[in-house]
Chain A
């Protein structure tokens, strides 16, 4: 199990970015990444402009760069893929530093690297500056209500269930069991099975407790800040920069 679960992506702060209503930030994130992906491939300076805009947003949020950089490990498999692309792609081959690489592959590899990095950093900024419950409340009205409710319940109990799984691992290890190879899978799978039964039974208890307190299918407490016009203006700055850059690049072609 990793240390990456729970709500540990949130970085406490009071910057303007932190205080923006969550729905503004979610919309801004999606719009920004859409613009980045719509920027033509190979337009590296445009990705540079997007990166500068995103960097300014990070500076404004007062979230340390190192905090975000550490969490960029989720991108690693795609960095490897992007680095392999020039060697496995088809098309005209050119010499770079004494290696024969595909020109198209080099271009798409670098483009993928730029787009995926911008997407990951932008998503990390959202997660670092927004409390999970605010993100969920911000999704109310935009997604089916039942989906939002499931998500709210899941996030509420994620730490409880993850801790349960951690306690089960500690219990196994304190009895001298550490899984090392596939022969140990039955023990781990038994834990997973017990974990399912416990999660399900917890769900039943939670549901009964909610019924006892008058639950009628509505989740109260999903209150959210109502975005005002200047919130939307602030939130639109980043996607606007990316959008202008993308349009400008297309105009140059």
Chain B
């Protein structure tokens, strides 16, 4: 999640010329590898429905990123949505959807540099989803198997996902940044700020997941293990009542 004034309507993307060419190529390779693995594994989450379903999920993320969450004093926050997508549709589909969203924003909306597509996909598409889902799985393993566990897990997943992407950005900037700023300045500004931003992302992600859990828990990928435990109960005494 990023805060900013209402002028821009989406999280901030890395533009052209921010990182040097070798770093951009390396992040491009990382993004391509992430997407390639996701393409192979996403079949398990959505089977043959991949194209239509993932397309609509991507449209959901795209539109949700433009939703204003007012902070007060005229500023508002915008969701990145990596952790939210990971919990709702599973990590592999989430990587695919986030990558498609970022690619579309670069090519159709001039948002984020075309030479920085790899960087943006790596940071916002792969790292937020991977870090978020890792935390989510960890929490699910430790917390009791309940709806509350899923909501707490998605809160912590989103909380970690944003500073994780910011930390990765600081690393990239240190390796291939095109400006001489001390590591301490970049790190404290980026990570400090994004911890705050992560808190907003966490609240909205958890609230959104819990509202989906309330009406259609079967649609929440992260809650599937809860549903398989539910069994249809037929109580003999009531069955006898109905029969007579």
Please list the residues of chain A having a beta carbon within 8 angstroms of any beta carbon in chain B: 1-2, 4-5, 7, 9, 26, 29-30, 33-34, 36-38, 41, 71, 73-78, 85, 88-91, 102, 104-105, 108-109, 111-112, 114-116, 118-120, 122-124, 126-127, 132, 135, 144, 146-147, 149-158, 160-162, 164-165, 179-182, 184-186, 188-197, 199-200, 202-204, 206-207, 210, 217, 219
Contact = CB atoms under 8 A, between A and B. Distances in A.
A207 to B, nearest CB: 4
Interface string B85-97: 0001000000011
Interface string B170-207: 00000000111110010000000000000010011001
B108 A127 contact: yes
Contact of B113 (A116, A156, A195): A116
A5 B48 CA distance: 29
B127 interface: no
Given A88-B185, A124-B110, A135-B108, A182 B16 contact: no
Contacts of A181: 70-72
A243 B33 CA distance: 29
B55 interface: yes
A126 to B, nearest CB: 7
B137 interface: no
Contacts of A104: 179-180
A23 B192 CA distance: 41
Nearest to A184: B70
A7 B108 CA distance: 8
A150 B58 contact: yes
A90 to B, nearest CB: 5
Given A116-B16, A124-B110, A146-B50, A156 B55 contact: yes
Contact of A190 (B57, B114, B178, B207): B207
Interface stretch (B61-69, B141-149, B160-168, B231-239): B61-69
Nearest to A182: B71
Contact of A180 (B49, B56, B72): B72
A9 B180 contact: no
A7 B100 CA distance: 16
Interface string B1-13: 0001001110011
Interface of B: 4, 7-9, 12-13, 15-18, 21, 24, 35-36, 39, 48-60, 62-64, 66-72, 79, 88, 96-97, 99-101, 103-104, 106-111, 113-115, 178-182, 185, 200, 203-204, 207-212, 214-216, 219
Given A150-B50, A151-B103, 16 more contacts: A34-B115, A108-B179, A120-B15, A120-B16, A123-B114, A153-B52, A154-B104, A165-B64, A181-B70, A182-B71, A185-B207, A188-B69, A192-B204, A199-B56, A200-B56, A203-B57
Contact of B181 (A4, A77, A88, A120): A88
A185 B104 CA distance: 28
A150 B109 contact: no
A203 B67 contact: no
Contacts of B210: 193
B88 A9 contact: no
Nearest to A29: B114
B7 A76 contact: yes
- Secondary structure of the B contact surface, majority rule: helix
Contacts of B62: 5, 154, 158, 161-162
Contacts of A203: 49, 52-53, 55-57
Contacts of B219: 196-197, 200
Contacts of B59: 153-154, 157-158, 160-162, 199
A242 to B, nearest CB: 12
Contacts of A160: 59
Given A36-B17, A123-B114, A188-B67, A90 B53 contact: no
B107 A126 contact: yes
A104 B50 CA distance: 49
B33 to A, nearest CB: 12
Contact of B180 (A74, A91, A147): A91
